[in-house]
């Protein structure tokens, strides 16, 4: 390979690096480290082969980036042959379109950390490691918020004092945009129809979860808002929560730092179940086997009840959003599942759609978790 472009997608608990032959934009492979910090797993995917999986001790995203860089070099990919790297970045105030990463861009990503504390620091960590290793490469940031840049006013506006909202930029910007955009295009290809004719609900389920209503290729509403806390129940985040709960906890003496830890790290199905932020463990605790995976954990009767509750709340919240977005769209051509859970767990998908009555009798489409070509498509002009 004379020239390769990499994609770097740092999630809240994973790092996925894609290799794309340049300038043909031909898929070469992916290297992913999942569950960073707790039972990490290395997943290598090459064309035409089953994914190779092996356990690995990786404590941080920075360590994951260094490991992948070394792995690529040992596999024959010299740093000088990497032409560019397209980095997925969740949010940076003032940026929607892809930009070359400069010190000013990096500072803007850092300033937006309060809006995405699980993601922006991870993205910055990968950017720092890869800019040191791949010094000759063009580094481009592509932003998750781009897909939601044109949300209707009614969907992006919070009902708070307009002066305060304007002063602090308090609007709903959405997240997981690269994933929802890729899922929409995949669904159009599967249905054999132009995306401009379709009304879709895309459902991204992973450690972070979100739902988006897509009308003729454009996002018209999405479950996440100013931060990735809003919306669905997630691995460690609660999703929709009465703001009065936050006020009540503040009045009870909880500090802002404690509240942040609660909302970002101790809620979701981890908080509900009390056992894990890995949905596979929660499913096992609820008595639901996971294909190709076996839990070694033993559960008390109380833990099993909590796991069943966590799963029920998780699925119910998704169903509520599906119904709401069906009402907004008027009819639905397809429900499109993506993300690690949405793609790989058919039992969860079945439980979500079981008994649903949505207008249009939508098809269920499973889209591969493939944000790399969306990244390349967004960043290509800056790398040419």
- pLDDT tens digits for 338-347? 998 999 999 9
Q: Does some domain include residue 164?
A: no
Q: Give mean pLDDT, residues 327-337.
A: 98
128 and 225 together in one domain: no
227 and 276 together in one domain: yes
Q: Give mean pLDDT, residues 272-277.
A: 96
Q: Does some domain include residue 323?
A: yes
pLDDT at 37: 86
Sheet containing 363-366: give its strands across: 218-222, 209-215, 199-205, 334-338, 363-366
112 and 210 together in one domain: no
140 and 80 together in one domain: yes
Point out the domain boundary residue: 149, 170, 199: 149
Confidence of residue 242 (pLDDT cuts 50, 70, 90): very high
Q: Give mean pLDDT, residues 87-113.
A: 92
Q: Is the pLDDT of residue 204 over 80?
A: yes
Tell me the pLDDT tens digit for each residue of 35-83: 898 788 899 987 777 778 898 999 999 999 999 999 999 988 999 999 9
Q: Does some domain include residue 372?
A: no
Q: Give mean pLDDT, residues 75-103.
A: 91
Q: Does some domain include residue 36?
A: yes
Place of tokens 């960073």: 36
Q: Which of 38-52, 56-70, 216-230, 283-297 shows the lowest per-residue confidence on average (mean pLDDT)? A: 38-52
Share of the chain above pLDDT 90, in %: 78
Which residues carry out catalysis?
Answer: 144
211 and 313 together in one domain: yes
Q: Is the pLDDT of residue 158 over 90?
A: yes
Q: Give mean pLDDT, residues 292-314.
A: 94
Higher pLDDT, 376 or 298: 298
139 and 237 together in one domain: no
Asked whether 89 and 120 are in contact (CB, 8 A), the reply is yes
Distant-in-sequence, close-in-space partners of 272: CB < 8 Å, separation ≥ 6: 233, 306, 309, 310, 313
Asked whether 269 and 311 are in contact (CB, 8 A), the reply is yes
**Which domain covers residue 126, as residue numbers?**
4-149
pLDDT at 165: 96
Question: Which of 12-16, 142-146, 249-253, 286-290 reaches the highest mean pLDDT?
Answer: 249-253
CA distance 330 to 235: 31
Q: Does some domain include residue 125?
A: yes
Q: Does some domain include residue 168?
A: no
CA distance 315 to 319: 6
Burial label for 150, CB within 10 Å (0-12, 13-18, 19+), is exposed
For CA atoms 293, 297, 298, 303, give the dihedral sign.
negative
134 and 251 together in one domain: no
Q: What is the total count of domains within the chain?
A: 2
Asked whether 233 and 277 are in contact (CB, 8 A), the reply is no
Question: Which of 24-38, 141-155, 288-302 reaches the highest mean pLDDT?
Answer: 141-155
Give the phi and the psi of residue 23 in degrees, each rounded to 5: -95, 15
pLDDT at 2: 58
pLDDT at 120: 94
Q: Is the pLDDT of residue 1 over 60?
A: no
Distant-in-sequence, close-in-space partners of 361: CB < 8 Å, separation ≥ 6: none
Confidence of residue 377 (pLDDT cuts 50, 70, 90): confident
Point out the domain boundary residue: 126, 149, 172: 149
pLDDT at 46: 79
> 205 has which bridge partners?
209
pLDDT at 259: 97
Place of tokens 């840049």: 149
297 and 216 together in one domain: yes
Q: Does some domain include residue 183?
A: no
Confidence of residue 376 (pLDDT cuts 50, 70, 90): confident
Q: Give mean pLDDT, residues 21-27.
A: 76
135 and 275 together in one domain: no
Asked whether 42 and 32 are in contact (CB, 8 A), the reply is yes
Confidence of residue 96 (pLDDT cuts 50, 70, 90): confident
pTM score, whole prediction: 0.88
354 and 212 together in one domain: yes
Q: What is the CATH number of the domain that holds 200?
A: 3.30.420.40
pLDDT at 370: 72
Point out the domain boundary residue: 149, 165, 198: 149
Q: Does some domain include residue 127?
A: yes
Q: Which of 146-150, 197-201, 221-225 shows the lowest per-residue confidence on average (mean pLDDT)? A: 146-150
Confidence of residue 291 (pLDDT cuts 50, 70, 90): confident
207 and 82 together in one domain: no
CA distance 88 to 18: 12
Q: Give mean pLDDT, residues 355-366.
A: 96
Confidence of residue 186 (pLDDT cuts 50, 70, 90): very high
36 and 137 together in one domain: yes
């Amino acid at each position: 390979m004379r020239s390769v472009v990499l994609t770097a997608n740092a999630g809240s608990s994973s790092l996925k690096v894609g290799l794309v032959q340049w300038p043909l934009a031909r898929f070469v492979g992916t290297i992913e480290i999942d569950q960073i910090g707790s039972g990490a797993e290395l997943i290598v995917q090459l064309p035409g082969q089953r994914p190779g999986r092996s356990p690995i001790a990786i404590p941080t995203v920075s360590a994951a980036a260094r490991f992948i860089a070394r792995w690529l070099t040992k596999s024959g990919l010299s740093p000088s042959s990497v032409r560019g790297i397209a980095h997925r970045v969740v949010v940076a105030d003032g940026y929607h379109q892809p930009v070359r990463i400069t010190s000013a861009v990096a500072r803007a990503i850092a300033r937006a950390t309060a809006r995405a504390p699980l993601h922006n620091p991870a993205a910055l960590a990968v950017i720092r490691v890869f800019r040191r290793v791949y010094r000759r490469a063009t580094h481009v940031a592509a932003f998750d918020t781009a897909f939601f840049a044109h949300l209707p006013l009614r969907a992006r506006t919070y009902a708070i004092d307009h002066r305060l909202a304007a002063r602090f930029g308090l609007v709903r910007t959405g997240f997981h945009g690269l994933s929802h955009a890729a899922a929409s295009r995949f669904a159009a290809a599967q249905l054999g129809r132009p995306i401009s004719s379709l009304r879709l609900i895309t459902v991204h389920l992973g450690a972070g979860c979100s739902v988006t209503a897509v009308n003729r290729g454009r996002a018209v509403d999405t479950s996440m808002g100013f931060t990735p806390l809003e919306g669905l129940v997630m691995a460690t985040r609660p999703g929709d929560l009465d703001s009065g709960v936050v006020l009540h906890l503040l009045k009870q003496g909880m500090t802002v730092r404690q509240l942040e830890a609660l909302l970002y790290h101790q809620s979701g199905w981890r908080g509900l179940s009390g056992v894990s932020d890995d949905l596979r463990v929660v499913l096992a605790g609820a008595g639901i086997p996971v294909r190709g995976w076996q839990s070694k954990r033993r559960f008390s009767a109380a833990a099993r009840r909590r796991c069943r509750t966590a799963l029920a709340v998780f699925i119910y919240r998704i169903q509520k959003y599906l119904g709401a977005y069906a009402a907004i769209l008027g009819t639905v051509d397809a429900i499109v599942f993506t993300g690690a859970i949405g793609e790989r767990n058919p039992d969860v998908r079945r439980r979500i759609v079981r008994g649903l009555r949505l207008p249009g009798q939508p098809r269920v489409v499973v889209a591969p978790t493939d944000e790399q070509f969306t990244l390349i498509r967004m960043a290509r002009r800056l790398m040419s």
